[in-house]
Amino acid sequence: MRTAATLVLAATLPPSAPAAAETSEAAPTVLPIDAAVAALQSADESRAGYSRTAFKHWTAGNNPTDGCNTRQEVLIAEATIAPEVGPRCAITGGTWFSYYDEVTVEGARGLDIDHMVPLAEAWDSGASAWTAARREAYANDQGQPASLVAVTARTNRSKSDQDPAEWLPPAPGALCRYGAEWTATKLRWNLTIDEQEKTALLDIASSCAGTTVTYTPAP
């Protein structure tokens, strides 16, 4: 189970992607947050040609036989009190902790599954050059727990497709974890950052001494 207090992003599950079986996950890399930010490559961003439909998501998940899609599997994995899972993966009950705003949520209806680095931001920073299969792998990535996170619908929609220069979680206690998870996701998928984003991440790193970033390069 993923816990809200975890800052270390261990890769424990294989990604749900058409090409995921072609190669195994590499060994994880652990870096102090300032070194992790410094390891990101800088580049200008472009949203030319972006469409959300370029990222096929909420596919059959890690276990195509369980009737659950990626979204449902993430909800089950991140519950702090497990829900009941009925036929066709109908989820009832359960409790979740939305770390963006430090709100406990009872029942899954108040939750969204956030792509830590939004699909549009991924497109801007490298995914526009990917194959459709790789974009699908990205959009359904459960190979690194922080890639997808269950949070309140209002914080997910407030964030939208913004990067850390434009939006940060409203809960002050979420800042270091969020900066670490954003950085880990960009490193995992070899995505670039622009200058404003880099400045924001370095500002976070400067106030988060002792925070580490653990990431595993995507297959």
pLDDT at site 26: 78
CA dist 101 and 173 (Å) reads 9
pLDDT at site 151: 98
25 pLDDT band, cuts 50/70/90, is low
Render pLDDT for 177-198 as a digit per residue (tens, 0 to 9).
Answer: 999 999 999 999 999 999 999 9
pTM over the 0.95 mark: no
Residue 204's Cα: distance from chain center in Å? 18
Pairwise pLDDT comparison (176 vs 21), residue with the higher score? 176
Render pLDDT for 151-163 as a digit per residue (tens, 0 to 9).
Answer: 999 999 999 999 9
Q: How many Cα atoms within 13 Å fall on the side-chain side of residue 152?
A: 16
CA dist 204 and 121 (Å) reads 19
Domain-wise residue ranges, the chain: 20-215
Residue 181's Cα: distance from chain center in Å? 7
